[in-house]
Amino acid sequence: MEELNLLVFLSIAAGHEPRAWLVSAAAAIAVGGPWLCAVLLGRTAWLHPRERAFLLAVLACAALASMLAHALAAGLNRPRPFMVGLSPMYIEHGARGSLPSAHATVMFTVALLCLRRRALRSAGAVIFALGSLTGWARIHVGVHFPLDIPAGLLLALVLAAAFSALGAVVARISRGSTQSS
């Protein structure tokens, strides 16, 4: 698995002889992708007022996703490509653990939760695509290995499932308390 991770990294990353235009584009996406996701989420809340409470809960889940991803990455402490000399880093980044990608975890968590609601599905699909593109960009600029991105998706799947299960429990309790009143 590690050999495949390295092989895929070497085929995606800018490495030591980059194409300037591609590194510039990847750097812009790597840094700007999460901001674009936030703007899209704000626009979605503006366009769908009935979904605002749900979207606030999604933001809380995104914050939890970020904290968990950072804690896991710190615990696993897997080095980033630039830390082991495989590629320069083409964006500013700290030398801390890379698995799972916190950016991927957060963006995929938001996307998966939005995909569960009919009114938010198109935003969820765009955010999922943007998360995938951001993952590619962060590999290209040397701050992630390829495996870091699907690891973020896996954590996002677990968090989205837990969020949905919690939502079902809250709904059941809420229905029970209104029926007994």
- Computed over every residue of the chain, the mean pLDDT equals 94
Per-residue confidence band for 172, with pLDDT thresholds at 50, 70 and 90: confident
The whole model's pTM is what? 0.92
Phi, psi of 13 (to 5 degrees): -70, 150
Per-residue confidence band for 16, with pLDDT thresholds at 50, 70 and 90: confident
Per-residue confidence band for 176, with pLDDT thresholds at 50, 70 and 90: confident
Per-residue confidence band for 175, with pLDDT thresholds at 50, 70 and 90: confident
Q: What pLDDT digit, counting tens, does each position of 152-171 carry? A: 999 999 999 999 999 888 88
Domain ranges in the chain are 31-90+97-174
- Mean pLDDT, to the nearest integer, of 15-34? 94
* CA neighbours closer than 13 Å in the CB half-sphere of residue 39: 6
User: For residues 160 and 155, what is the distance between their CA atoms, to the nearest angstrom?
Assistant: 9
